[in-house]
Structure 1
Amino acid sequence: MKFRVFTEPQQGATYEQQVAMAQAAERLGYDAWFRSDHLLAMDVDGAPGPTDSWVTLGAIARETSSIRLGTLVTSLTFRHPGLLAIQVAQVDAMSRGRIDFGLGTGWYDAEHAAYGIPFPAKRFGLLEEQLEIITGLWGTPEGETYTFRGEHHELVDSPALPKPVQQPIPVIVGGGGPTRTPRLAARFAAEFNVPFRSDAEIAEQFGRVRAAAEAAGRDPGSLVYSAALTTTAGATDAEYRRRAERIGRDPEELGRTGIGGTAQQVVDRISGLAAIGVETLYLQVLDFDDLDLLEFLASEVLPKVG
């Protein structure tokens, strides 16, 4: 299993805190450092304020050397797909080919209202078009042009530049939609992610994606199956509880619905996730001031389940 650190900077994190965590994750051997793509904090004031995901990742790409970087997931409402294709390709070049690209519909209407961004009621059609446009631009041979005419977007004779270093950049699609989401993953995704669901829901959604891949004539084993869960731990139960309370989570509930507990409890929890088919695990770490947690997990947990 691969382990990735997943963060929520909109809750209150400077660029300096983000790069420090990404560098710590790289030093400790995590596979990737990912961040959310949000502009408004949830249940806290969010000071000093949001940071743009792709500006931040471009900078972190130049301050790291081996760890993979990405979003879980970029909101399609924030950027035009043509511009987003340029931004991600540029950051892939800045990182020398270390980007994974997650794209989703967005869901938090309040952040759109707060920053004057339109929030369409129906967004799944937009997601399908944007995935087709972005991958189409990246995949167009150099010297040729790309044209797309859809219900929501139109591109005419685009030079389809710049090209990313990776051909192709791994695309992440995720969510719990029972029908359209699995079909979209089968068509576009290198990885399918289920965030913040129960084990039963994760296993059921993986099954739907495998079935959709088979129906599309694709080998289901060609996709990576991943999950994201809030994570904290401690050398003792008391330390675990202190960490859970510091991020505003009930220790008992987190132990059931996320990943939480002492080292052995977390090992057992991750082993259960592996048993239902999770191949890559995003450990949602919410405390940017607690890099010791990454150290603890890397030394006391991950060697036993990796």
Structure 2
Amino acid sequence: MDLRVFTEPQQGASYDTLLTVARTAEELGAFSAFFRSDHYLKMGGVSGLPGPTDAWITLAGLARETSTIRLGTLMTAATFRLPGVLAIQVAQVDAMSGGRVEFGLGAGWYEQEHTAYGVPFPKERFGRLEEQLAIITGLWGTKLGDTFDFEGEYYRLNDSPALPKPAQEKIPVLVGGTGPTRTPALAARFADEFNLPFTSIEASAAQFGRVRAAVERAGRRPDELVYSNALVACVGRDDAEVARRAAAIGREVDELKANGLAGTPDEVVERIGRYAEIGTERVYLQILDLDDLDHLELIASRVAPQLG
């Protein structure tokens, strides 16, 4: 099982805090990647101070200040950036990192953050997402010396030089979500990885099945995709430490055990094993208390070694 660190900086984190977490995750050696959300407004009863950080500016900085850990987003909001500009940004960060970027793109859903910062929140977000994926992957996949054109309902590109190119031959593309029809079809067309956020074992099994069927209908092998889950992590050496960590993030232990990865290392390993049984190959551990570096060390030393 591949473990990755997933952060939510809009809840309250500076760039320096994110850098410390990314470097710690890299040094521990148990986590293959550092991912972050792409939000501009806090959620729930937290202060959100010092305020939001931009996902791709953050990753550009981390690209130069880390060396081995992979970097990415769950998920970049398609509403925040024009597709041609986003393709340039991500390709540049990939080059800055020496080819360590992974690219998750979603439709955008949190209307309040759009109104708070004057970002349009169109109704037809899924159609725009589909065109953005076609444009971004098309630009990256255009041969050097050729040009790229696109004529869609929402975006038009004419005679684009399709530059710069990423450092990687192909940046892995992540698509996710629980929609039963359009989402699996989109994953089948564009994704290298399919991700489910905060989804139960039973619901994950059902959605993975839909995606696998859609991938087959598209003429691809289902095992061409990586299947992953993002889940809140709250691990403690004993029940008291679990309760302390749950309280620190404003959650209840029983709720976290039902909907996330909470408990002692052995309990969390057992639950991850149940996800593995339904096809999960990668887990993004949502770490909500970014000052608690001992939490990462505990997962690295007591959970990761049991997962093989």
C-alpha displacement of 1:171: 0.1
- Aligned partner of 1:77 in structure 2 is 79
- Aligned partner of 2:168 in structure 1 is 166
Q: Distance in 1 between matches of 2:154 and 2:124?
A: 11
The one-letter code of the counterpart of 1:21 is V
- Aligned partner of 1:17 in structure 2 is 17
- Aligned partner of 1:253 in structure 2 is 255
Q: Distance in 1 between matches of 2:75 and 2:229?
A: 13
C-alpha displacement of 1:4: 0.3
**Are 1:298 and 2:300 counterparts?**
yes
Structure 1 residue matching 2:262: 3-state secondary structure = strand
Structure 1 residue matching 2:114: 3-state secondary structure = helix
- Aligned partner of 2:37 in structure 1 is 36
Which residue of 219, 227, 230 maps to 1:228? 230
The one-letter code of the counterpart of 2:153 is E
C-alpha displacement of 1:121: 1.4
Q: CA offsets, 1:55-98, max 9 Å, x none?
A: 00000011100000000000000000000000000000000000
Which residue of 194, 201, 204 maps to 2:203? 201
Q: Distance in 2 between matches of 1:241 and 1:107?
A: 31
Q: Distance in 2 between matches of 1:9 and 1:278?
A: 25
The one-letter code of the counterpart of 2:88 is I
Q: CA offsets, 1:243-280, max 9 Å, x none?
A: 01100110011011100001111111111111111001
Runs of 4+ residues over 6 Å off in structure 1: none
Q: Distance in 2 between matches of 1:231 and 1:96?
A: 29
Equivalent residue runs for 1:1-306 within 5 Å: 1-29=1-29, 30-43=31-44, 44-306=46-308
Q: Distance in 2 between matches of 1:263 and 1:165?
A: 37
Structure 2 residue matching 1:137: 3-state secondary structure = helix
C-alpha displacement of 1:6: 0.2
C-alpha displacement of 1:232: 1.0
C-alpha displacement of 1:239: 0.4
Q: Distance in 2 between matches of 1:123 and 1:103?
A: 12
Q: Which TM-score applies when normalising by structure 2?
A: 0.99
The one-letter code of the counterpart of 1:32 is A
Structure 2 residue matching 1:248: 3-state secondary structure = coil
C-alpha displacement of 1:45: 2.0
Runs (5+) with no aligned partner, structure 1: none
Q: Distance in 2 between matches of 1:268 and 1:216?
A: 35
Structure 2 residue matching 1:301: 3-state secondary structure = helix
Q: CA offsets, 1:114-153, max 9 Å, x none?
A: 0000001121110110000000000000111111010000
Q: Distance in 2 between matches of 1:10 and 1:252?
A: 25
Q: RMSD of aligned C-alpha atoms?
A: 0.6
Q: Distance in 2 between matches of 1:33 and 1:95?
A: 13
C-alpha displacement of 1:208: 0.3
- For these two proteins, the number of residue pairs brought into alignment is 306
Q: Distance in 1 between matches of 2:123 and 2:200?
A: 27
Q: Distance in 1 between matches of 2:155 and 2:268?
A: 45
Q: Distance in 2 between matches of 1:263 and 1:130?
A: 40
Q: Distance in 1 between matches of 2:226 and 2:290?
A: 28
Structure 1 residue matching 2:104: 3-state secondary structure = strand
Q: Distance in 1 between matches of 2:115 and 2:63?
A: 31
Q: Distance in 2 between matches of 1:175 and 1:28?
A: 30
Identity of aligned residues (%): 64
Structure 2 residue matching 1:156: 3-state secondary structure = strand
Q: Distance in 2 between matches of 1:208 and 1:7?
A: 28
The one-letter code of the counterpart of 2:51 is G
Q: Distance in 1 between matches of 2:3 and 2:33?
A: 7
Runs (5+) with no aligned partner, structure 2: none
